[in-house]
A and B are shown apart, each in its own frame.
Chain A
């Protein structure tokens, strides 16, 4: 196959490579370059060194969004995985109608973030109306609203992966355990959970990156509201990192360089999470 004539490259690879250059490679490197510049459009950029990064890291709105995101990620990763694991466990017990339940729990996952945000905004406001408030008036409601929305959307997806995990545990392990007289709780803690470790790793990292990068749901549900002016700077109390970066770019033309610097920091954190995941997956492969 190495004898394939050179010009076949033009047919097989070039279309994708050209699109990849336009859609990823060029914007990515230009983005890194612009994070060191002050600019309004890409043509009038002037180099300013690390100024944008300094401004970004001192920005109260960015810092607030970072900690808000971290809190959201921790809570939703735990809740989604516990919920999905429990549902998957019950659905592999051989109950009648398991397929129907599986369909129901998976369904919300097919709906996009913007539509989900709208649906839940209506529902939360429909309830909170009786207490004279709204999801956009109270940051605590906003936070838990986002968590509920995220659980509703993601639990079904993770459930599918957990079900596949449960089904791949070989029967002979259970057979051996029964012969040895293991109790049900022993089987769960000594066989099921250790054998489920790969699925748990996958789902933890999937929920981690999904929650960390959340944008659509955040925009549609609260759009960062309520806004706190008490410290002198306007801080959107339910704004996550991705939305903060977006608003830095498009709410004020003069801060685009800072927005790009925030985006690079955001990228580094996401890449860091991905590398940690790779490390854990590799380690497990070696052990097996």
Chain B
């Protein structure tokens, strides 16, 4: 067995020590270049506007450093203060992901277990919806949402549930098929109704898929631009991407300092999210990619 242990995959690919050091150095340099755009935005968010347009790549000096002035100006002033956009983005993302997870998991379990003709039709429509690009339904969807008065943060949850159901149902049904029927049957013989069986037995087993789907949907909704832009009533409700594009769109006169600050504010939640569930994110991506 000791001999067998020597045959390790990494050993074959393993370069010599010098090679390893060279590779580490190269990777370190590439990594620094790779993250530099984020740091450029970070230090420019503390600079006065004129200094940003003159010397983007210079660190702030005592003359150009303005502290949190850009942040304060961007967050609370203007005709649409940014804190509102942050709150609306947070609200939409949290509520939508929660609703999508519960509703599509229930739907996926029911259509897998009952498997009638109607259920099969729903399933294939969901698969089909995954390949339809948003531009195809862009105009008619925003019109429908407007007609049904779904142009609010609450209403857009329904739109997201409808348009995002495909991937979630696909991933959930894939998992439900792998759960042995016996577990559920023994529970229902003991007198548990479908709701008890689902929430008491199926839901806990589905936890890994819940996390994967949740992460994919969170990343999509937090960063989504066009759907909320077309659906929401823009005078009242703007998400972070909508507000950044709105401010940047007024080319030339835009307040670059404030936008830099807003970009930093919008990236912070994502980075916290990433570091708090890095392992799950990577698992989620791999399972999502293999199935999609």
Contact = CB atoms under 8 A, between A and B. Distances in A.
A115 B31 contact: no
B49 to A, nearest CB: 12
Interface of B: 4, 7-10, 12-15, 20, 23-24, 27, 31, 34-35, 37-38, 40-41, 44, 52, 56-57, 103-104, 106-107, 109-111, 113-115, 119, 122, 125-126, 129, 131-141, 143-145, 148, 150, 158-166, 169, 181, 184-185, 188, 194-195, 198, 219, 222-226, 240-241, 244-245, 248-249, 251, 256, 259-260, 263, 266-267, 270-271, 273-274, 278, 282, 285-286, 289-290, 292
A175 B56 CA distance: 53
Interface stretch (A53-61, A137-145, A265-273): A265-273
Contact of A112 (B24, B241, B271): B241
Interface of A: 1-2, 4-5, 8-9, 11-13, 15-17, 19-28, 30-31, 34, 41-42, 89-90, 92-97, 100-101, 103-108, 110-115, 118-123, 125-126, 129, 136, 152, 157, 160-161, 164, 169, 171, 174-175, 177-178, 184, 187, 202-203, 206, 213, 215-216, 219-220, 223, 242, 245-246, 249, 256, 259-260, 263-264, 266-267, 270-271, 274
A111 B23 contact: no
B244 A114 contact: yes
Contacts of B133: 213, 242, 263, 266-267, 270
A216 B31 CA distance: 25
A113 B161 contact: no
Contacts of B289: 161, 202-203, 206
Contact of A25 (B57, B125, B249, B278): B125
Residue among B115, B240, B282 with most chain A CB within 10 A: B282
Q: 9 closest pairs, A vs B, by CB? A: A23-B162, A112-B223, A126-B56, A12-B110, A19-B162, A27-B140, A27-B137, A175-B7, A19-B161
A260 B278 contact: no
A93 B162 contact: no
Is the contact region of chain A dominated by helix, strand, or loop, or is it mixed?
helix
Contacts of A103: 274, 278
Contacts of B114: 1-2, 4, 9
Nearest to B269: A110
